[in-house]
Structure 1
Amino acid sequence: MDLQFIGIDPNTGDGESPTVWVDQEKRELVLQGWKPDPELEAACAAFEVPGHAKGIPDHEAVIRIPARMVHMIREACDAIERPDVA
Structure 2
Amino acid sequence: MELDFIGIDPETGKEGSPTVWVDHARGEIVVQSWDAGEELVATISGTAWAPGHTPGVPEGETPIRIPARMVPILREACDVVERAGL
Per the TM superposition, whether the score is higher than 0.5 is: yes
Question: Which residue of structure 2 aligns with residue 71 of structure 1?
Answer: 72
| Distance (whole Å) between structure 2 residues aligned to residue 29 and residue 65 of structure 1 | 13
Deviations 1:23-53 (A, max 9, x none): 1111111001101132211111222221211
CA distance in 2 between counterparts of 1:56 and 1:40 reads: 11
Tell me whether 1:83 sits opposite 2:74 in the alignment: no
TM-score by length of 1: 0.88
* Mapping 1:39-78, distance limit 5 Å: 39-49=39-49, 50-78=51-79
1:2 aligns to what? 2
**Is residue 36 of structure 2 the alignment partner of residue 22 of structure 1?**
no
Q: Determine helix, strand or coil for the equivalent of 1:51.
A: coil
Secondary structure of the equivalent of 2:64? coil
What residue ranges of structure 1 are gaps of 5+ in the alignment? none
Question: Take 2:13 and 2:44, find their aligned partners in 1: how far apart are those partners?
Answer: 27
With the length of structure 2 as denominator, give the TM-score of the two structures: 0.88
The answer for unaligned runs of 5 or more in structure 2 is none
Q: Percent identity?
A: 54
Aligned residues: 84
> Runs in 1 of length 4+ with deviation above 3 angstroms?
none
Quote the Cα distance in structure 1 between the aligned partners of 2:37 and 2:27.
29
